[in-house]
Amino acid sequence: MIGLFFVLIGRLYQLQILDYQKYNPLSKKNSIRREYVSPARGLIYDRNGNLLVDNEPIYTITITPAKYDTNNNALLARLLNVKTSDLRNKITEAENYSWHRKSRLYTEVDFGIFSRIQENIWRLPGIGHLIESKRHYPTPAKAAHLLGYLREVSQKTYLDSDHYQLGDKVGKSGLEQIYENYLRGKQGTSYKLVNAFGQELGPYDNGNLDKAPLQGSDLYTTLDTDLQIFAEKLMKNKRGSIVALNPQNGAILAMVSSPEYKLSKLAGRLDHKYWAKINADTTSPLFNRAIAAQEPPGSTIKPLMALIGLHLGVITPKTVINNPGYFYLGRRYGDHAEPGKYDLVKAIAHSSNTYFFTVMYKIARNGLFNKWHDLASDFGLGHLDYVDLPGERKGILPDSSYFNNRFGVRKWSIGDIINLGIGQGVMSVTPLQMALVSAEIANNGYKVQPHIVRAIKKSDGTFLSTDPVKKKISWVTQKDIDVVKKGMREVAVEGTARWYANVKNIKIAGKTGTAQNPRGRDDAWFISFAPYKNPKIALAVLVENAGYGSQSAVPISTLMIEKYLTGKVQRKWLLKKMINFNPADTTGTDE
Partner 1 sequence: MNNWYKNFDWILVLCWIALTLIGLAAIYSATQGPVSQFLPSYIQENFFKQLLWVAISIVILIIVQFTAPRTFQQGSYLFYAFCILLMISTLLFGVEINGARSWISIAGVRFQVSEIMKIGTILAVSNYLTSRRNISAEKLSSALIAVGIILLPTGLTLLQNDTGTALVLLSLIPVMLFWSGLPRGISLFIISPAIIGYFAVIQWYWGILAVLIVSIAVFLIQKRTWLTLTSLIFGIIIVAGVHIALYQVLEPHQRARIEAFTNPSFDPHGAGWNVIQAKTAIGSGGLTGKGFMKGTQTQLRFLPEQWTDFIYCVIGEEFGFIGASIVIIIFLIMLMRLLNVAGSHNHPFAQLVIVGIASIFFVHILINIGSAMGLLPVIGIPLPFISYGGSAFMSNTFMLAIALNMELYHRDFSIFV
Task: Spell out the residues 6+ positions from residue 363 whose beta carbon is closer than 8 angstroms to its own.
Answer: 308, 309, 312, 314, 369, 371, 372, 417, 421
Smallest separation (angstroms) from partner 1 to the CB of 145? 49
Smallest separation (angstroms) from partner 1 to the CB of 14? 9
Smallest separation (angstroms) from partner 1 to the CB of 26? 5
Nearer to partner 1, 194 or 293 (CB): 194
Nearer to partner 1, 15 or 276 (CB): 15
Nearer to partner 1, 20 or 111 (CB): 20
Nearer to partner 1, 195 or 401 (CB): 195
C-alpha 163: how far from chain center: 24
Q: DSSP strand E in 38-126: where? A: 44-45, 51-63, 103-109
Smallest separation (angstroms) from partner 1 to the CB of 126? 11
Nearer to partner 1, 67 or 302 (CB): 67
Nearer to partner 1, 18 or 280 (CB): 18
Q: DSSP strand E in 418-553: where? A: 446-447, 453-457, 463-465, 471-472, 509-515, 523-530, 537-543
- State the CB neighbour count (10 A cutoff) for residue 510: 33
Smallest separation (angstroms) from partner 1 to the CB of 99? 8
Nearer to partner 1, 201 or 212 (CB): 201
Alpha-carbon distance 247 to 442, whole Å?
A: 6
Smallest separation (angstroms) from partner 1 to the CB of 18? 9
Q: Which residues bind partner 1 (CB under 8 A)?
A: 1-2, 4-5, 7-9, 11-13, 15-17, 19-20, 22-24, 26-28, 30-31, 66, 193-197, 199, 201
Alpha-carbon distance 263 to 340, whole Å?
A: 53
Length of the chain, in residues: 591
Contact by Cβ (8 Å): 44, 52: yes
C-alpha 565: how far from chain center: 24
Smallest separation (angstroms) from partner 1 to the CB of 393? 54
Contact by Cβ (8 Å): 565, 536: yes
CA distances from 474 to 105, 311, 402, 477, 590 (A): 61, 11, 25, 8, 34
Instruction: Give the burial string for 5-16 (b: 16+ CB within 10 Å, else e).
Output: eeeeeeeeeeee
Nearer to partner 1, 197 or 573 (CB): 197
Smallest separation (angstroms) from partner 1 to the CB of 254? 58
